[in-house]
Structures are given as structure tokens and as C-alpha cells.
Structure 1
């Protein structure tokens, strides 16, 4: 029983880390292709270990939410529903701490909506949960 739970925790953390990596690469790619600038959002991060590592770790920690017994037979829906947690955390707390204004609007009016679109991109990669 303990081995099964440990195995599941490892899988969920790994899936969350993969989701964090996918989301981070998507945000970086949008910045490189000037998609964020075209939307009026000033986000174009450099792809460095210091920028990438925390996003992968936090993605892994958020992946542990897959232990919640909701939507077991609908993995895509489960990924989309569980992506609301990290999305709300980014939009409400992290954006406020980084001097981007309330809900990240300081880097562009569309910024909160862009996060609502990009977070499920990473979380829906966790389909095996």
C-alpha cells in the first residue's frame, strides 16, 4: 500500500513537472515569437535555469493535486479543472508580488487572460493521472 502511494506521488510529481516545463516553454516561445507583445503583454522571459527551475518544481508540487478523487474517468477534464489552482495562484499572488499590478495587469491588460489560457496547456499534459 505504501509503495503504491509513493509510486503514485512520484508519477503525479513527474507529470506536474512535465506540465510546468510545457507551460514554461510555451510562455517562452510566445515571447520569442512576439505573440505576447502582439497581445499587448510585456512578457518575454529568457530561457535560463534560474527562470525555468522554479516553474518545473512548482509544477511538480501542483501535480500532487492529482491525488484528489475527482473526474477519475475524464483525465483531460481533470487536468483542466486542476489547472485552475496554479492559474489562480499565479494571477492573484505571484503577479502582485512582482510589481506587475493587481492581477498582473501592469505588464498588459490581457495578461490575466493569457495566464488562464496558458496554464491549462501545461496541466492538460498530465493525462495519465
Structure 2
């Protein structure tokens, strides 16, 4: 497999893995009561129906991450690029999913005033993890 197809697969897998880590962080925070303590109604239940879409979307956003590291000159600052790319799924969640697919309203404010901060935090976890693992999976020899 040539390097660009290999990197494409790596970015997808890193996005899926990062979605698993980010979802785990959201679930653990919800079980610990952190969102509720701050007045946010984000309490996910760990189930296949909850985790599956997050893994798929994590992989798809990982494909978008690929566009930032696809050229040999772009293969620097992997984690920083992951953090920047993580702002896209954050904006998607806050400006499209919450107002159009749920009753939470724009920015998810129907779930609590600090909801956007939680969404940003969870997506930054995704971005950092995607960058770290894409770099680790790709290796230094290429």
C-alpha cells in the first residue's frame, strides 16, 4: 500500500480510537457527576446505541484530519492540527446537531449554560488523541 493510502487508513483508525477515548471521558465525567454539578444535563449511558455513532463519526472526522497531514510538508505538529480540526466537530455539534436534531437548542443551551464548554473539552480530547495516535501509528521512518 502506498504511503498516502496507508496514512488515510491510519487517520481513520486514529479518529475511531480517539472517539473511543473521548466518549470514555464523557461517560466517566457523567458518572462522576461533574456535568450535573455544573448544571449541565449531559449524562451519557454507555451502550452500543450511544457509542457506535460516535466511533463512526470519529473515523469520518479522522478522514478530514487526513487532509491536514496528507502532504509530506504537512506532517509536522500532528497534535496541534488535531486540536484545530477538533473545532469542526465541535461546531457541527453546537450549531447543527443540537438545534436541528435535539430539543437542546442552539449551542445546546437547553442542557445547561456550560454545555458548549463540555462539548469543546470532549472534542479537544478527540483532537489531541487523534494527532498523537496518527503520529504514533504512522511512525518516524516515512
Q: CA 1:69/1:32 → structure 2, altered by over 3 Å: closer, same or farther? A: closer
TM-score with structure 1 length normalisation? Answer: 0.91
Indicate if the aligned counterparts of 1:72 and 1:78 stay in contact, CA closer than 8 A: no
Report the RMSD for the aligned CA atoms in angstroms: 1.5
Q: Which runs of structure 2 are paired with 1:76-115 in the superposition (5 Å)?
A: 76-96=79-99, 97-115=101-119
Equivalenced residue count is 128
Runs of 5+ consecutive residues of structure 1 not aligned to the other structure: none
User: Equivalents in 2 of 1:69, 1:9: separation in Å?
Assistant: 11
Which residue does 1:56 correspond to in 2? 55
Which residue does 2:139 correspond to in 1? none
Indicate if the aligned counterparts of 2:68 and 2:81 stay in contact, CA closer than 8 A: no
Indicate if the aligned counterparts of 2:79 and 2:128 stay in contact, CA closer than 8 A: yes
Q: CA 1:69/1:43 → structure 2, altered by over 3 Å: closer, same or farther? A: closer
User: Equivalents in 2 of 1:75, 1:52: separation in Å?
Assistant: 25
User: Equivalents in 2 of 1:35, 1:76: separation in Å?
Assistant: 26
TM-score with structure 2 length normalisation? Answer: 0.84
Deviations along 1:9-68, one digit per CA (max 9) or x if unpaired, are 211100000111111111111110000101110011110001000000100000012222
Give the number of the structure whose residues are more often helix, by fraction. Answer: 2
Runs of 5+ consecutive residues of structure 2 not aligned to the other structure: 136-142
User: Equivalents in 2 of 1:33, 1:76: separation in Å?
Assistant: 28
